Amino acid sequence: MGVDLSLADYVLVSLGVLVGALAQGSIGFGANLLAVPVLAIVAPAALPGTMILLPLPLQMAMVRHERDSIVWRDVGWATLGRAPGVVVGTWVVSAIALDQLSVLTGAVVLAGVATSVVATSLPFNRGTKLTAGFVSGIFGTATSIGGPPLALLYQRHDGPVLRPTLAACFLLGTALSLPSLVVAGVMEWWQLRLAVALLPALFVGSVLSRLVARWLDGPWMRPTVLAFAAAAAAVAIVRGIG
């Protein structure tokens, strides 16, 4: 099975990836939150594989360049919690139809948006790290959006610690999710090819975020990203139901 995107569809998905990377670099979140619901509208069959693979180069770069700031103890607890979540997430994605996956993806994005709006702090202890890792494992494997639970838990940490620590969590989490999805038969080579085709948009968005971060770091950026993500998620849900 594969997906042949039209030029218009490819440009639309690339734009979602680019804007997501731009948001990620400027406010610390938004990459998959923006790109995934767009892909769910255009090509739900590409999920979750394509969007699990696509962020890998950025995660690896962050871990390599900022490894001295990573809190490995926290990464270990979150990864331990993610392991059983990966099993649940793999079962979910292998058991539901594409239209249901589109609805699920949209619902997860809306939940992530609501979480970002409410932004209630959580106790920061071993139990919450395990729980956040577990929930991240479920939704990160099933929909490729595993960031909100961990981002909520770590939201009170400084950026230089938060970014590489979460990147390490996601990198190790991907190392757990990918083999599980392959064994379940829901990862295919064409999803990797699509991820590679979208890398230029990811790279451009990442570079632009560093060049224009001070102009993007305004009070309007966060609500704009959340509104766009919510709108795309709503369309994905409607399309899946219809």
What is this structure's pTM? 0.84
Report how far residue 199's alpha carbon sits from residue 202's, in angstroms, rounded to the nearest whole number.
5
Sign of CA dihedral 112, 114, 118, 121: negative
Calculate the CA 117 to chain-centre distance. 17
Q: Residue 202: what pLDDT?
A: 93
Q: How far apart are CA 237 and CA 128, in angstroms?
A: 30
**Closest to 34 in 3D by CA, of 236, 238, 239, 241:** 236
**Alpha helix ranges (H) inside the chain:** 7-27, 31-42, 49-53, 56-65, 72-95, 98-118, 126-143, 147-153, 159-184, 189-211, 213-216, 221-241
Q: List the pLDDT tens digit at each of the 242 positions of the chain.
A: 567 789 999 999 999 999 888 877 666 666 788 888 889 888 888 989 999 999 888 888 888 888 898 999 999 999 999 999 999 999 999 998 878 888 888 888 888 888 777 766 678 899 999 999 999 999 899 988 888 888 778 777 776 787 788 889 999 999 999 999 999 998 989 999 999 999 999 999 888 877 776 665 556 666 776 777 787 788 778 877 86
Quickly count: other Cβ atoms within 10 Å of residue 110's Cβ: 17
Q: Are 176 and 82 in contact (CB under 8 A)?
A: yes
pLDDT at 21: 85
Distances (CA, A) of 197 to 37, 164, 221: 18, 26, 27
Measured distance CA(66)–CA(109) in Å, rounded = 28
Residue 55 near residue 32 (C-beta atoms within 8 A): yes
pLDDT of residue 227: 79
Where residue 119 falls (left for φ over 0; alpha for ψ -120 to 50; beta otherwise) is left
CB 137 within 8 A of CB 86: yes
Q: Are 152 and 162 in contact (CB under 8 A)?
A: no
**pLDDT at res. 176:** 95
pLDDT at 194: 95
